[in-house]
Structure 1
C-alpha cells in the first residue's frame, strides 16, 4: 500500500503537473480536497433499510463502517490534507450509507488485511475495488458495483485507433506490469495471433507505472496496459495519453468489482437492493462521472454472481 507521504507527494505533483499554483487547485482534473463539496448524496431508501436483517448488528450503532485501502486515485486516495480518504469508492460508500440511513465511517486498511478485519467484525463491509472470485465467495458475500476493467492507452497523437480483440494488438509493443493479470491475458492474445498467422505482441515488462509511462511517452512502447481507473487519472492529469480500448480483468470471463460483507450476515441483500435503486435514480452514474469512470458502470448490481475461478 502507498504511504500517506507518497500519496501527498503524488497529489502535489498532480496540481503542479496541471500547471496550477496553490490558489488554483480547483482547476485540477479532480477535486482532491478533503471537503468534497461535489460528492453525490442520496436519500434514505426505505426498501433497502427494510431488507437489513432484524438481528444484524452493525459494528457501531447508527454507522456504516467500511474498510478501504487508499491505494491511489481515482478509486481511493488521501486528500491534500494527507488524512481524509477520497475517491470513487468512498463516494460509493457514502451513497450506500445514505441509502441505509447511516453515518459513513471509513477505516483505512492495508489491502492484505481487509479479509481478517471483515471476518472479525471490525467493519460492516469492504468497498475497495475487490473483485469477485470463487475463492473469496467461500468466506464473503458480494454485491457488485463496477466492472473490473484494464485499459489500453496510447500517446495522444498516436495513430492507433482502437484495440478491441487480439488481432487489433498484433505486432504492437505493449508496456505491462510483469507478473500481472494483464500480462497473462496478453500472452494468451499473442498466442492466438500467432496461431492465426498474425504477428505476435511484443511485451515490455515493468515493475511500476512510472517506468511504463516513460516507455510509452518516449516511443519505446506503442501501448500501455494496466487497470483502467489508474490510467483515467493519468490521462486527465497529464492530457498526453488517451484511451483506445478496455478489457475485462477476467478475460475471457467477466470480472466485476463488489462490496464485500461477511458470509451469511444477511447484509448483502440490502446492499444489492440499495445499489440497484441508486442505479435507477441516476445517483450511481453521477458518482462515477465525478471520477471519469462511467466506462466501468454496471447496468445492474448482482448478489454473489459467478466469480473468477481458482487458478
Structure 2
C-alpha cells in the first residue's frame, strides 16, 4: 500500500517513503541543499469562489474536505522529490496540487504512486486526480479528462565544453552519439531524425541507452556520448545542480506538434471545469509562474489552461 500524506497548512504529516537516504542528503552540494530547503516552503493560493461554485453538486471527493492527488513515488526532482527531512514530498507537482486545493477551498492529501498504477487508481476512485507529469494524448482522452497546467518539454544537453551550440532539427545530430530512454517520446523523435538523415545521405546518428541518469550524465561529461535527449525538467535540474552540461536545444514534448502536461481526472465526473478555473486563476495571479520559476522551469509556464486539448497522436 502507498503511504498517504496530508498537507494541512504548512505542517505535512510524515511519509514512509525513504527513497533519498540520509547519506545522499549529506553528500549533496550545499547549493542543492539550500534549494531544497527554500523550495520546501509552501506557496499557497487563495480560494477562488468561481472555481468552488463549479464543483459539480453530485461529485464526492475521495476524502471529504480534501483534494486527494496521486504524485510520483520516489525521487524524481524537480517533478517530485523529498525535502531535507527525508519525509516530506516536494516538487512541481506537489506545489501545483496545493494551489489547486487552495483555490477549491480544500486541504491537500498526497498519495505517492508508481507510474504504472495511476490509471487504475483514478478509475477505481483511490484519488481525485493524478499529477505525475502526464501528457495529453488521443488514446488517454478516451479514458480520462485532462486540464493542462504546464508545457511538456524536451531538452537536448551537451557537455559544457562541447563545440555543439544548437540542436533543433535532424541534421543537427548527424554523426552524434545521442542518449535517449528506450520507449520514450524522445527516442521516437530521434529515430525519425535518423531516418530523415539517412534519406539525406548525412552521417549516421547512434542512439545510446542508459537506465541510470547519473551514468548518462557521466557519459556526456566524459565524452563517451555527445548529446543527452531527455525531458527538460530532469536535464535542467541536473544542469543547475552540479552537472557539467549545457542545454543547446528545446522541443515541445509533442514534436512536431504540441502536447502539454495536465491534471488527469476520471472521465465524465465534471470536475474538470472547477480544476480548469483553479489553474487559470493561478496562471493569471502569477502563482504558477512562481512555482515553476523556483524549480528552474519558467519556460514551461502556459498562457492559459485548456480542457482536453490536442495531444500525442492527433
Per the normalisation by structure 1, the TM-score is: 0.89
- Number of aligned residue pairs: 299
Q: Give 1:23's aligned residue.
A: none
Q: Find the partner of 1:235 among 225, 239, 243.
A: 239
Once residues 79 and 45 of structure 2 are traced to their aligned partners in structure 1, the CA distance between those partners, rounded to angstroms, is 20
1:230 Cα deviation from its structure 2 partner:
0.9
Q: Give 1:83's aligned residue.
A: 87
Please list, as runs of the form range in 1=range in 2, the aligned pairs for 1:50-129 lying within 5 A after superposition.
50-71=53-74, 72-129=76-133
Greater shift after overlay, 73-82 or 267-276? Answer: 73-82
* Structure 1 portions without partners, runs of 5+: 21-26
Kept after mapping to 1: 8 A contact 2:39/2:294: no
Kept after mapping to 1: 8 A contact 2:217/2:243: no
1:76 Cα deviation from its structure 2 partner:
0.7
1:97 Cα deviation from its structure 2 partner:
0.7
Q: Give 1:214's aligned residue.
A: 218
SS at match of 2:155: strand
Kept after mapping to 1: 8 A contact 2:40/2:83: no
Once residues 119 and 197 of structure 2 are traced to their aligned partners in structure 1, the CA distance between those partners, rounded to angstroms, is 39
1:200 Cα deviation from its structure 2 partner:
2.8
Kept after mapping to 2: 8 A contact 1:167/1:193: yes
Matched, 1:47 2:79: no
SS at match of 1:107: strand
Greater shift after overlay, 196-205 or 211-220? Answer: 196-205
SS at match of 2:45: coil
Q: Give 1:24's aligned residue.
A: none
* Structure 2 portions without partners, runs of 5+: 3-15
Once residues 260 and 172 of structure 1 are traced to their aligned partners in structure 2, the CA distance between those partners, rounded to angstroms, is 37
SS at match of 2:133: strand
Q: 1:30 to 1:123 in 2, by over 3 A?
A: farther
Once residues 204 and 115 of structure 2 are traced to their aligned partners in structure 1, the CA distance between those partners, rounded to angstroms, is 35
Please list, as runs of the form range in 1=range in 2, the aligned pairs for 1:215-294 lying within 5 A after superposition.
215-294=219-298
Once residues 198 and 14 of structure 1 are traced to their aligned partners in structure 2, the CA distance between those partners, rounded to angstroms, is 45
Kept after mapping to 2: 8 A contact 1:65/1:125: yes
Per the normalisation by structure 2, the TM-score is: 0.88
Once residues 205 and 305 of structure 1 are traced to their aligned partners in structure 2, the CA distance between those partners, rounded to angstroms, is 32
Q: Give 1:8's aligned residue.
A: 20
Once residues 299 and 169 of structure 2 are traced to their aligned partners in structure 1, the CA distance between those partners, rounded to angstroms, is 17
1:208 Cα deviation from its structure 2 partner:
2.3
Q: 1:233 to 1:160 in 2, by over 3 A?
A: same
Greater shift after overlay, 260-269 or 161-170? Answer: 161-170
Once residues 192 and 90 of structure 2 are traced to their aligned partners in structure 1, the CA distance between those partners, rounded to angstroms, is 36
Once residues 261 and 30 of structure 1 are traced to their aligned partners in structure 2, the CA distance between those partners, rounded to angstroms, is 34
1:83 Cα deviation from its structure 2 partner:
2.2
Q: 1:202 to 1:14 in 2, by over 3 A?
A: farther
